[in-house]
Structure formats: C-alpha cells, structure tokens
Amino acid sequence: MKSPQTPTLSQWDDPLRQAVPAANRSLFMQHGYAPELHQAQVPDVCHALELVQNLPPVNPNDKRIVNGNTDINQLAPFKYPWAWEFFLNGNKNHWTPLDINMAQDVHDYHHKLTTEEKHVYENVLAYLTTSDILAMRNIGLAVMEKMSAPELQIYQARQVYEEALHTWTYQHCIETIGLDQSEIYNRYRVVPAIYGKIRMANQRLERVMRADFDLRNRDNLEEFAMSYLFFAAVFEGCWFYNGFNPIFALQRRGLMKGTGEQLQYILRDEALHSAFGMKVVEQLLIEEKLVLDPKRVQEMWDESEAAEHAYAKYILADPILGYSADDHIGQFHFVANRRSRQMKMPEPFPGAKERLDWLSEQASLRKEKNFFETRVTEYQTGVSLSW
C-alpha cells in the first residue's frame, strides 16, 4: 500500500487559484499563505483581509479612558500624551536592590538599633511586603485591563513591574539582614494594626478587580472611580508615601542607610504611580460626566486616617529618636490635603501642617556621596528625574 504523498506547492496553489478571485489573490499571498489552510476557508480569509485593508485610521479623539472603541493595539496618535511621559519618566528611575550596598545595615541592625528601632524597622517591612503585592495585583487585574487606550496600559505595565521590583527589594532587605522571613511575612495576618490597612484596601478594591465588572453600568463606573481614587490618592499617595518615613528617620541619623536608599528609589516610583492614577481619575470624571459624592470621599479619608492612626500607634508605641506616632499621623494629614488639592477637592484635614520639615531633603537622592560608594546609575538616570 502506498503512503499518501504530500501535495506539492503547485498542487496546493491550484485550488487557491480557483477559489480566490484574481483581484484578491495578490493580497492573500502578500499576507502569507499556509499550505494547511483548507480550501473552504479561503474566501472567509480573503474577506477578512479586505476588511483589514479598509479599516479607517485611528482618530485620537475617539479614545477614552474606559469603554473606548478604538484599536487598543495602536499606540499613536496619542490622546493622552501625558501617559506616555509618565512611562518615559518611569524608565529613568531604574535600579535593582542588588545595586545598593547593604553591609552597613546588617551591622546596624545587629549592633546599633535599639529594641524600639528594630520593632519599627521590622513592622514597616512587614506592612510593605504585603502591600506592594496587593498593589501589583490591583493594577494588573482591576485597572490595566479596563483601560481602553494603549498609552495608559503601557505605563501601567511598567507600574506592575515596579511593584514586583519593590516586593523583591523588601524581600532582599529581610533576607540580607537575616530576619525570619516566615515570621515577618505573616505579621499582617496576626497584627491587627497591619491587617486593618490591608483589609480596608481589599474591601475597597475587591469588586472592581473582577473581570466581569461592567463599566458600562453607571453605578459600577462611579464605584470604579472611587476605588481608583482610593488606590492612587490614599494607598499609594499617602500610605506608601508616608510609610517610608520611619526608615528615613533612621537613615537621617546614619542608620540603615542601605534600606533608606532602596526606599528613596521606591518613593520616586510611588510618587509617579500616585500622580498618574489621580490624573486618570480626573480625566475619567470629565469624560464620563461623573461627580463623586463629597460625603463618600470624606468617609474614605476618615477610614484611611483611622487605619493609619492604629498602625502608627502600633509601630511607634514607643517613639524613636526624632520620630513619633504624632509625627506620623500629622504628616499623613498634611499629605492627604496635598493629594486632595491635586484632585481639586476639599481638604479632608483642614489646617494640617507639615510635621517633617527635613523629609523632602532626606527622601531625595540629590546628596553628596563618596564617588566610590555611589552607583553609576545615580549619575545617569536617578538624578535626571525632575520632581
């Protein structure tokens, strides 16, 4: 019995010449023809190719934050050029935790830190390790897939990577110092003050994370805007932004300088994350003609302040030199007012004053350093950012 012979290219081509009109044949061959394509499929493929050829160009005015109908795979022309600028700026702040010398931190933790300072250091890391994973999942699951303009998604793809990088950074600090990883990572489960912040975030973000959360429903759209406002202004704009301060207070005194430098780089990312998220919410409200209920917004800030207050009272039950729970809460109020002004909304804590006048300088990477102890990237990328 003879084995079946594989058809030659000419044999494959013969039925195609019969099935494909002469006018379409060159178009079909131009876009590639696989021999395994069945003859019956050819007319459908040709029709699809003709439709592709006739698609109108993308009009940037048709793009929308959500519920847009333009081609999500075509980046330009931009409707939101500011989103592309966020992406370019985010790439200027690139590092890995392995780039930063942690040797002094190992010595400081085991030989210089007081019991109270170790308590602060460990619990700040315990909170951050869980929070950045939550942030990564929120952007990847709740936000990015719902954006309908690719310039928005591209920055958020960078943001997802950065949250993973931050998680690596905290893990690297924990591992380098020699802390019990299982114990540190599980603190958010057993310490109510840490869990309270995580629980509040989950409650406010859980529904919008669902893939079937329909943003064509006006109530859902408003809930999405509120959730994203919480994430950008509170979670990243205040809880993260304010959460590094206890470590900066140690760094200011020459302690845990490696960890402090790691957080300086992370803070730059988080400042961009917060600003981007609030810009998206602001644009979303304009496009969809939404007005958020001021009462709901104030309740969001009040709940956030209560969770932050409990957290500060726990990690700083005994104040450390140069930093206390009152400093932490006072600075939270100050930053919360700043975020609200950025959104052109009323200040949630009127009259709050800056408590840490040293913070702007301490959190900045623009410091004199021994050249031989400084990474080349600080001179190339880190210092090229303007804030």
- Could you give the count of Cα atoms lying within 13 Å of 91 in the half-sphere of its Cβ? 9
Domain borders along the chain are 9-55, 62-384
Q: Name the CATH topology of 62-384.
A: Ribonucleotide Reductase, subunit A (1.10.620)
State pLDDT tens for residues 214-224: 999 999 999 99
Residues whose CB falls within 8 Å of the CB of residue 245, separated by 6 or more in sequence, listed in order: 323, 327, 328, 331, 356, 359
Taking phi over 0 as left and psi of -120 to 50 as alpha, with beta for the rest, 96 belongs to beta
pLDDT 10s digits, 252-292: 999 999 999 999 999 999 999 999 999 999 999 999 999 99
Q: What is the pLDDT of residue 21?
A: 46
The pLDDT of residue 176 is above 80: yes
Q: Which pLDDT score, from 0 to 100, does residue 30 have?
A: 47
Give me 108's structure tokens.
């400081």
- Name the pTM for this structure: 0.80
Nearest in space to 377 (alpha carbons), one of 99, 166, 87: 99
Identity of the residue numbered 341 = R
Q: Residue 266 has what pLDDT?
A: 94
129 and 229 Cβ atoms separated by less than 8 Å: no
Give the pLDDT mean for 304-317.
97
* 304-312 average pLDDT score: 97
Over range 138-143, report the average pLDDT: 86
Higher pLDDT, 127 or 55: 127
- Calculate the alpha carbon distances from 125 to 11, 166, 171, 182, 263 in Å: 68, 11, 9, 13, 11
Residue 12: exposure state from Cβ atoms within 10 A (0-12, 13-18, ≥19): middle
- pLDDT at residue 347 tops 60: yes
With CA atoms as reference, report the closest residue to 16 among 46, 47, 50, 52: 46
- Identity of the amino acid at 22: A
* 184 — pLDDT class (breaks 50, 70, 90): very high
362 C-beta neighbours (distance < 10 Å), count: 16
pLDDT reading at 7 higher than 60: no
Q: Give the bridge partners for 323, in sequence order.
A: 320
- Mean pLDDT of the chain, nearest integer: 84
Task: Provide the pLDDT for residue 318.
Answer: 96
Is residue 43 very low, low, confident or very high in pLDDT (cuts 50, 70, 90)? low
- pLDDT score at 115: 97
pLDDT at 230 over 60: yes
Band the pLDDT of 363: cuts 50, 70, 90: confident
The answer on pLDDT for 61 being more than 50 is yes
